[in-house]
Amino acid sequence: MIIKKDSSDDLLQTDVAIVTWDEKYATGVVLIDNQHKELIELINQLHNACLAGGETVGTTFKEAMSRMVEYVRFHFGTEQELLQRIKFPDIHNHKKQHAALIKSILEAAKDYSNGKKYVPNTFVRTLKDWVLGHIAVYDKAYALYVADQRRKGILGDKL
Ligand SMILES: [Fe+2]
Ligand SMILES: [Fe+2]
């Protein structure tokens, strides 16, 4: 957990990160790792939007949520294009996992609009677990494939 203090303000301003980047999430593909770092940042923003409380939580959460959906789509697009290019054998299943996450995000957003106020807090935690779980299992699987192809000289260092 990171707590940053804003020195320009006497009141304690806390910016709490529920998740921080760790090298254990690295895929070895720079472009993808940078996007995963951005995803983690967006999860933290979403979490902070939930902490905002009061009347602003609705607007802040919705805004953070649409930034999240937009970025997740962009990231999955990049990843799928890469998997296709490198001819990753399990691409079909990987795409299915991506589609399932997009569906859950959109359902949570809909539940929230329909008045289920518990959604923000529980959803951010679920999302965090899902994203980290996906990186640890599925993204790591293609990372191993990439490393193997590089060893064999089939893929270069730059992808
Ligand atoms: Fe993925
Ligand atoms: Fe990913």
In a domain, 5, yes or no: no
Residue type, 5: K
How far is 62 from 24, CA to CA, in rounded Å? 31
Residue 3 included in any domain: no
- Is 117's pLDDT higher than 90? no
Domain limits for position 57: 23-151
Angle subtended at Cα 29 by Cα 105 and Cα 87, rounded to the nearest 5 degrees: 80
pLDDT bin (cut points 50, 70, 90) of residue 92 is very high
Q: Does 157 reside within a domain?
A: no
In a domain, 8, yes or no: no
**Is residue 44 over pLDDT 70?**
yes
Mean pLDDT calculated for residue range 71-90: 97
Q: How far is the CA of 12 from the centre of ligand 1 (A)?
A: 37
Residue with tokens 């999302």: 127
**Gap from CA of 82 to ligand 2 centroid (Å):** 11
Distance (Å) from CA 115 to ligand 1 centroid = 31
Q: Is the pLDDT of residue 56 over 80?
A: no
Ligand nearest to the CA of 132: 2
Q: How many domains would you assign to the chain?
A: 1
Structure confidence at residue 144 (pLDDT):
96
- Residue 39 sits in a domain of what CATH number? 1.20.120.50
What percentage of the chain has pLDDT greater than the value 70? 89
Q: Calculate mean pLDDT across residues 11-20.
A: 68
89 within a domain of the structure (yes/no):
yes
User: C-alpha 37: how far from its chain's center?
Assistant: 8
Count other C-beta atoms under 10 Å from residue 78's C-beta: 14
CB 72 within 8 A of CB 102: yes
* Ligand whose nearest atom lies closest to the CA of 141: 1
Residue 1 reports pLDDT greater than 70: no
Residue 87 CA, chain-centre distance (Å), reads 24
Provide the residues around ligand 2 (an ion) whose CB is within 5 A: 139
Q: Give 111's pLDDT tier (boundaries 50, 70, 90).
A: confident
CB-CB contact of 46 with 70 (8 Å): no
Q: What is the largest CA-CA distance in the chain?
A: 58
Q: How far is the CA of 24 from the centre of ligand 2 (A)?
A: 14
